[in-house]
């Protein structure tokens, strides 16, 4: 460790940064690796941004609304469920919200719980705070380990639903069972809920220890604008407001998010299209190719490729990943966990992108006998 690094706090000196999916800069890639939305955002978003900026962007001289107040009100109104502004905190992406939750609720003594596999950012955020973690492992069925979460000693438990990278969704009946026994803060990270059959919003009214986290990055085609939010009891929202940056969401992001939420008709249509492409993709890989593929409730597909000899496993998944990358088709491979290493996670793209993916798998199969 260099002398300068050792000036940092000991736990920081030992940290590893989160590894985001590749963002290639040259054109020509079929990019199915970071679960971005394949279609553009509502046209109202660009219109609203142009209007906000005007000719000279003079409004950028001014600080944004510190609480994103109009956006909190719009979010509450668009979800209904008796929610009001006091139930909403907006963040610079939902990653910001997850960070605030960990900052406010987790330390060495107050553990952060999560399942494995799930969103791999949670332990990274806990590490930054020098906090302690408790991991609960799925088995290959990927069914929710309800009793083990109920019995968890964690102060806050982070549950990704639908889960990542599997795409498996958890029903409200199961979540209600978890909530019936778990006394800590249950954070349900619903980044992919708009693609799912069910979501946890209706449980909020009865369970003050439930936090639902949403993002506009996936289903609203706004990953580049960085807006996410928490829905929770007003006392929890107040705690989050104590630990966030006072101007955590910039002016243009607030305007873009408001415009997007105002055009639900547009999003209903394009989300339905992504779901149809997803279901077709799951059938093509599962029934079509005979590859084990989880039923997806998200905008990605988790599948276990078989090579030309009918074999699967970590080396086969790696071979498929490398072959796809060599043909400028980018997906995601998670080799570090036994339940994910033999799978690929494929974001649902346009119909044309999914055809290129399928043709490239065909070519890989023809080349994978040797
Ligand atoms: C993508 C993703 C996020 C991050 O969303 P941002 O709003 O872009 O920060 C959070 N949770 C899960 C499970 C995700 O997949």
- If asked whether residues 206 and 92 sit together in one domain, one would say yes
Question: Distance (Å, rounded) from C-alpha 344 to C-alpha 355?
Answer: 17
Phi, psi of 135 (to 5 degrees): -105, 135
Are both 143 and 226 inside the same structural domain?
yes
Lowest-confidence pick of 9-23, 146-160, 228-242: 9-23
**Residue that finishes a domain, picked among 231, 263, 295:** 263
Rg of the chain on CA atoms, in Å:
21
* One-character DSSP codes across 93-138: SHHHHHHHHHHHH--SSSPEEEEESS-THHHHHHHHTT--EEEEE-
DSSP string, 196-226: SS--SGGGTTT-TTEEEEEESSSTTS-TTT-
Enclosing domain of residue 163: 43-263
Question: Band of the pLDDT at 370, cuts 50, 70, 90?
Answer: very low
Poorest-confidence range of 6-15, 40-49, 132-141, 263-272? Answer: 6-15
CA distance 154 to 164: 21
229: left (phi over 0), alpha (psi -120 to 50) or beta: beta
Residues 156 and 133 in one domain: yes
Q: Are 305 and 333 in contact (CB under 8 A)?
A: no
φ/ψ of 87, rounded to 5, equals -95, 5
Residue with tokens 């249509």: 269
pLDDT digits (tens, 9 = 90+) for 185-217: 999 999 999 999 999 999 999 999 999 999 999
Query: Can you give the pLDDT at residue 320?
Result: 98
β-sheet bridge partners, residue 88: 231
> 353 CB under 6 A from ligand 1?
no
Which ligand 1 atom is at minimum distance from the Cα of 218? Answer: 1
CA distance 366 to 370: 10
Mark whether 203 and 234 lie in a shared domain.
yes
Q: Are both 226 and 297 inside the same structural domain?
A: no
Mean pLDDT across 304-309: 97
Residues 65 and 130 in one domain: yes
Instruction: Clarify whether residues 113 and 135 are in a common domain.
Output: yes
Which of 263, 294, 316 terminates a domain? The answer is 263
Q: Residue 235 carries which DSSP code?
A: H
Is the minimum distance from the CB of 165 to ligand 1 under 6 angstroms? no
Q: Is residue 243 located within the same domain as residue 301? A: no
Query: What are the tens digits of pLDDT across the range 81-119?
Result: 999 999 999 999 999 999 999 999 999 999 999 999 999
**Neighbour order of strands in the sheet with 300-304:** 292-293, 300-304, 344-347
pLDDT at 6 over 50: yes
Q: What is the CATH number of the domain that holds 313?
A: 3.90.1150.10
> Mean pLDDT throughout 214-231?
98
Q: DSSP string of 64-101?
A: PPTT-HHHHHHHHHHH-TT--GGGEEEESSHHHHHHHH
Q: Which of 18, 102, 114, 217 is the best mutation target for the ligand 1 pocket, counting ligand atoms within 8 Å of the beta carbon and taking the most?
A: 217
The answer to whether the CB of 179 falls within 8 A of the CB of 186 is yes
Distance 94 CA to ligand 1 centre (A): 6
Name the pLDDT band for 3 (thresholds 50, 70, 90): confident
Is residue 204 within 8 A of residue 229, CB to CB? The reply is no
| pLDDT level of residue 233 (50, 70, 90 thresholds) | very high
Q: What pLDDT sits at residue 369?
A: 57
Q: Classify the C-alpha dihedral 250-251-257-260 as positive or negative.
A: negative
Q: Is the pLDDT of residue 219 over 60?
A: yes
Q: What is the mean pLDDT of residues 223-243?
A: 98
Task: Please count the CA atoms within 13 angstroms of the CA of 12 that sit on its side-chain side.
Answer: 7
Same domain, 88 and 78: yes
Q: How much is the average pLDDT of 302-329?
A: 97
Considering its fold, how many domains does the chain have in total? 2
**Do residues 122 and 173 share a domain?**
yes
> Rounded distance, CA 255 to CA 124, Å?
30
Max CA distance (Å), the chain: 63
For residue 187, the CA-to-ligand 1 centroid distance in Å is 13
Residues 68 and 216 in one domain: yes
By percentage, how much of the chain surpasses pLDDT 70?
99
**pTM recorded for the entire structure:** 0.97
Helices 69-79, 251-261: axis angle to 10 degrees equals 20
φ/ψ of 88, rounded to 5, equals -125, 135
Is 99 a pocket residue for ligand 1 (Cβ < 6 Å)? no
Cβ of 160 less than 6 Å from ligand 1: yes
226 shares its domain with 306? no
Read off the CATH number of the domain in which 169 is found. Answer: 3.40.640.10
Q: Which one of 241, 263, 285 terminates a domain?
A: 263
As a whole number, the mean pLDDT across the chain is 97
* Centre of ligand 1 from the C-alpha of residue 97, in Å: 10
């Amino acid at each position: 460790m260099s002398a300068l690094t050792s000036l940092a706090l000991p736990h920081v000196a030992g940290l590893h940064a989160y590894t985001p999916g590749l963002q290639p800069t040259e054109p020509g890639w079929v990019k199915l690796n970071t679960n971005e939305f394949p279609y553009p955002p509502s046209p109202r978003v660009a219109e609203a941004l142009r209007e906000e900026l005007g000719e000279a962007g003079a409004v950028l001289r001014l600080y944004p609304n510190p609480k994103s107040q109009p956006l909190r009100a719009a979010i509450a109104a668009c979800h209904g469920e008796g929610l009001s502004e006091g139930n909403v905190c907006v963040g610079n992406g939902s990653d910001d919200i997850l960070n605030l939750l960990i900052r406010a609720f987790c330390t060495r003594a107050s553990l952060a719980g999560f399942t494995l596999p799930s969103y791999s950012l949670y332990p990274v955020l806990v590490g930054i705070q020098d906090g302690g973690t408790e991991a609960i492992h799925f088995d290959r069925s990927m069914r929710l380990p309800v009793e083990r979460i109920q019995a968890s000693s964690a102060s806050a438990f982070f549950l990704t639903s639908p889960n990542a990278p599997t795409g498996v969704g958890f029903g409200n009946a199961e979540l209600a069972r978890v909530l019936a026994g778990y006394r800590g803060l249950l954070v349900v990270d619903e980044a992919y809920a708009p693609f799912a059959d069910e979501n946890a919003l209706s449980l909020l009214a009865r369970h003050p220890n439930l936090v639902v986290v949403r993002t506009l990055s996936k289903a609203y085609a706004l990953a580049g604008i960085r807006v996410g939010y928490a829905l929770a009891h007003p006392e929890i929202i107040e705690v989050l407001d104590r630990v966030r940056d006072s101007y955590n969401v910039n002016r243009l992001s607030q305007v873009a998010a408001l415009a997007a939420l105002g055009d639900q008709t547009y999003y209903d249509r394009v989300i339905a299209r992504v779901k149809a492409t997803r279901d077709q993709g799951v059938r093509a890989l599962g029934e079509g190719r005979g590859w084990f593929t989880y039923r997806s409730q998200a905008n990605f597909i988790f599948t276990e490729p078989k090579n030309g000899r009918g074999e699967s496993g970590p080396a086969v998944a790696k071979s498929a990943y490398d072959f796809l990358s060599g043909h400028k088709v980018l997906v995601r491979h998670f080799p570090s966990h036994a339940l994910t290493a033999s799978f690929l996670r494929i974001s649902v793209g346009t119909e044309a992108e999914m055809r290129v993916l399928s043709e490239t798998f065909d070519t890989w199969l023809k080349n994978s006998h040797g």
